[in-house]
Amino acid sequence: MPPSTGPALSRTGFLGRCPGTAMCRMEYQGWGKNASMTFYAYFGHPPDVGELELLDHQLGLWESLGILIPLGYSSLRSIDSHFVGMRLWSLDPDSNARYFDEGFDRPGLVPGQVSEMLPSPVSPMIYWKTANPERRRRGRTYCVGISAEATRIGYDPNNINPIWGDGLITIMNDLTQFMQNANANQVLIQTHQGGRLLDTFPIFPVAAAGTGDGILGVQRRRLRRGR
């Protein structure tokens, strides 16, 4: 039996507010620090434990293999980055299903002698685009564990070089197919409006991934733009 949800997710107030949807948190470690990436999958009905387990399996394949082996997310991660767990929760009010997959350690595939890991505060940022062009209905993911080689090969270290940028977009776009293999669709959720937590979270299907202007993470964005 998977363990309880624990206090962290309960404090967010997300449980029971998004019908037909599951929250997927992929957990990483690097240099003794924890980091994670969170995605949302829409099943169209209250997901059960078996469906969360299948989704866990597909996301694990996306991380480790990708569609064109060996082009999974791990192919962009430094060996200093370790994929150590995945936690999935139903956010449906009629399902308390959850599935925790832990107790493993999968390092990235880029050797340390080639390049160390980028620190999480300067991770490449992916924007998730929906059919609705409004900015509030675009999500973003900070891609943790990426090799610092992504900023090299003669380019400005504030930016992802084009070769790595194209590879990252391709791999992040593959995520939609792996969710579909688990009979789910990748979505964004809107949790707040006007500073208030919504009673029911609307969902927006993901159309594509993009890197925006390509500038890395929060700290470097502020430095680059003088803020």
Burial class of 99 by CB neighbour count within 10 A (0 to 12, 13 to 18, 19+)? buried
pTM, two decimal places: 0.86
Query: How crowded is residue 181: how many other Cβ atoms within 10 Å of its Cβ?
Result: 15
pLDDT of residue 196: 92
pLDDT of residue 210: 83
- The predicted-structure confidence for 178-187, as pLDDT tens digits, reads as follows 999 999 999 9
Secondary structure element (H or E) that encloses residue 177, with its range: helix 162-181
Amino acid identity, position 135 = R
Q: In angstroms, rounded to a whole number, what is the distance separating the alpha carbons of residues 181 and 58?
A: 7
- The predicted-structure confidence for 170-224, as pLDDT tens digits, reads as follows 999 999 999 999 999 999 999 988 989 999 999 999 999 987 655 565 544 433 4
* Distance set, CA 39 to CA 14, 26, 140, 185, 211 (Å): 14, 8, 10, 11, 17
The residue whose two tokens read 């993901």 is 206
- The predicted-structure confidence for 106-148, as pLDDT tens digits, reads as follows 999 888 766 788 887 778 888 898 877 665 557 889 899 988 8
